[in-house]
Amino acid sequence: AQTVTQSQPEMSVQEAETVTLSCTYDTSESDYYLFWYKQPPSRQMILVIRQEAYKQQNATENRFSVNFQKAAKSFSLKISDSQLGDAAMYFCAYRSALSGSRLTFGEGTQLTVNP
């Protein structure tokens, strides 16, 4: 079974600074997808960014980018120019490409953005 681990329960960053959230995962599969979801106080789950394991290029979405290290099974999220609206719980998630489409989530990292 796949597992996802987020070792940072809480992180904080100053507004306009950069922060990196860590995620590691364990799988024996070679084809899969990785995601970062944001959950603001409203509790809505919002997809931030997605990475296909077969792609070597790291995904980028505006101020959000990932560092995907397949051999190390590491998938970190970098938020640049942090904004107050980025404050939320961030979840790393794994989805197999071959054996079902369920999402397996990490424990989450609570991000605080200080003005």
Residues that bind another protein (CB under 8 A): 32-33, 42-47, 50, 91, 95-98, 100-108
Q: Give 16 or 46: the residue with its C-beta nearer to another protein.
A: 46
> Encoding tokens for residue 6?
């987020």
Q: How many CB atoms lie within 10 A of CB 44?
A: 10
Q: What is the smallest separation between the CB atom of 17 and another protein, expressed in angstroms?
A: 28
Cβ atoms of 19 and 8 within 8 Å: the answer is no
Q: Give 3 or 69: the residue with its C-beta nearer to another protein.
A: 3
Q: Give 32 or 75: the residue with its C-beta nearer to another protein.
A: 32
Distance CA 21, CA 114 (A): 16
DSSP 16-34: TS-EEE--EEE-S-SSEEE
Cβ atoms of 13 and 113 within 8 Å: the answer is yes
Q: Give 15 or 29: the residue with its C-beta nearer to another protein.
A: 29
Q: What is the smallest separation between the CB atom of 106 and another protein, expressed in angstroms?
A: 8
Q: What is the smallest separation between the CB atom of 22 and another protein, expressed in angstroms?
A: 17
Q: What is the smallest separation between the CB atom of 80 and another protein, expressed in angstroms?
A: 24
Amino acid at 2: Q
